[in-house]
Structure 1
Amino acid sequence: MTVTTRRPFNPSEEQAIAADFPVLAARHAAWLRARGLLDRPWFVLGSAPDPHVPQPFPPGTAHVHVKYAGHAARQYGLPAGDLTFLLAKTTKQQIDGLDLDAVLRLRKRHSLLTRIRRDLPALGGNECALTHRERDAFIIGTLGSLFGVTGSEIRPSNGIALIAYAIAVGIPQIIVAGISLQSDGYAYDPSARIRRHLEEDRAALAVVAARYSEVVTTEPELSRTTGIPLLEGVPAA
């Protein structure tokens, strides 16, 4: 049996991936603007256990969920997601009971329909496709690297990709919760699961902390680990 090891992208490959980053960011900003999601603070909720929820939220906050974090949002009495980042392989069972308004869906490639939606954002409906290469372009374009040499994966997690996406389209304040570099498992599923992308996420979030003051967190441990500042009013412990 042959074991195939994924090779991290080298700098020239990363540069090629991110070549059309400004155009890509502008297209997605137009789609978000058409849905009233652009010029508002975002509360980006991941699925790590025991997320810290700010009280109150800044006025006009959009609730943005990473994959199935909407289940955790319901547990904490939070609104349905204004935007949800889903995978192409997401099943009906995984999102059963969730109210999905706008969806950013990760796909291997664009179909004719997703290209039309991409090029005509005002007519594109409430779902927008993001290819794997485009996701990588958002990470490289904002953070400078995929950090594939720091750990066993070749890129950070999709939670980090969504933070990079928010930075790229110009969201004025990005409040991060439910993302952990320590805890396994999921807020809506108590069974312990090993969390991947830890070293890549740690390296990426350190760059976020150094470059982007609009990104804050409600998670004290994440703040201590990465240097991302705590949201004003959130206690440090």
Structure 2
Amino acid sequence: MPIPRIAIGTREEVIHPSAFQAALAEFISTLIFVFAGQGSVMAFNKLTGGGATTPAGLVAASVAHAFGLFVAVSVAANFSGGHINPAVTFGVFIGGRITLLRGILYWIAQFLGSTVACLLLRLSTGGLATGTFGLTGVGVWEALLLEIVMTFGLVYTVYATAVDTNKGSLQTMAPIAIGFIVGANILAGGPFDGASMNPAVSFGPALVSWSWNDQWVYWLGPLIGGGLAGLVYETFFIPPTPEQLHTSDY
């Protein structure tokens, strides 16, 4: 079971140069991802006179987020594991693959990256508002379930392709598989709640636009889904080993 392997971490680990390097990689990659994802929605909305919520807008958002995440994970993978998502960080923490203190460092970097991306988008588009996440035709509990299921699929994919030491040749496919599952989930959940799957992606636009409606759904759902995915994969698919926790594994 992974639960006994959960670790708090040490001060030395947090102040080590590699920890700063990893956090910086998470900051830059989250900025890249949110700038591309949010920017594509804003651009489509501008070109179509408000057509971001049309079927074509949904497909455009799906493709842009899939491509953006593929790149963001790829460029950060060698330094931080390419989490780009507090729910992914939480999932690997629950699985005993990262310490709490290092995970908090990643969270700070991810939230800052998303916020800076949204600020840059507003500054570079003449003050256009960044799109915030909201519910359309579903209640908060239905949206919460959507976020749990979609994020479970995302973090399960991360585990199967990037975390599992038995993944073999799948490692090279990890970034594209992670991007694909996010793109597919946007097609499935986008019309209902925006398909966040990522508290940082929700936080940046909410802070810059100062719109916090139902924001808790986009935090609680992904964290539950990510934590469940880490627990399930570690329990049923990764054989137990006597090795100590290594925070640099993922």
Q: Which TM-score applies when normalising by structure 1?
A: 0.32
Q: More strand by proportion, 1 or 2?
A: 1
Select the structure that is richer in helix.
2
**TM-score scaled by structure 2?**
0.31
